[in-house]
Amino acid sequence: MTDKVAAFKLALGNYPTGVTVVTACNEAGEPIGLTVNSFTSVSIDPLLILWSLDKKSQLHPYFTVAQKFAVNILASNQEHLCTLFSSKIPDRFAQAKWSTTTLGLPILHDTAAILQCKTSQQIDAGDHTIFIGHVLEIENAQKEPLLYHRRHIGEIPNSFYE
């Protein structure tokens, strides 16, 4: 690894992010999903969000043909889902509580929020693809979010609010 790549990883690893699980269905209608922290809002008018996926991911081919996806914003007590959906376990959904929405998307239970999206655009970005989604439905539970910082997963410390 070059010095510049190591410095890049160190700098961005020190930037705290929320943790999501992005879900969709494959061509057979089966649920797919993976842990994503490269998620952000893009636009209010129209409502747009984005996330990115490594082209080497086993799920990359499925997401590139998916017309819809859901962003499950994990709650602070859902570290187990973060770990599960970042693993190589074949049937991750068998170990999670989930259901299918009226839009036909698999969503996880008890999350902080869920954004159901129509795939609006895909952008080639080096070794990743950026997915832009037009938000169709929003569910908010107003729970504390799960955070990722310096390769650690956890909740916002109480001292943050003092």
Beta strands 146-149 and 17-18: pairing type?
Answer: antiparallel
Residue 12 included in any domain:
no
Strand partners, 152: 149
10, 151 Cβ separation under 8 angstroms: no
Q: Is residue 30 part of a domain?
A: yes
Residue 38 forms part of a structural domain: yes
Is 153 a member of any domain?
Answer: no
Q: 71 in a domain, yes or no?
A: yes
13 found inside a domain:
no
Predicted confidence (pLDDT) at residue 160 exceeds the cutoff of 60: no
**Residue 55 confidence (pLDDT):** 98
Q: Please write the tens of the pLDDT for every residue from 49-67.
A: 999 999 999 999 999 999 9
Q: CA dist 42 to 55, 72, 137, Å?
A: 22, 17, 16
Q: Could you give the angle at the alpha carbon of 103 between the alpha carbons of 97 and 26, nearest 5°?
A: 70
Domain span at 59: 20-145
What is the CATH number for 92? Answer: 2.30.110.10
Q: What is the pLDDT of residue 148?
A: 81
Instruction: Indicate whether 138 belongs to any domain.
Output: yes
Domain count, the chain: 1
pTM attached to this predicted model:
0.91
| Structural domain contains residue 6 | no
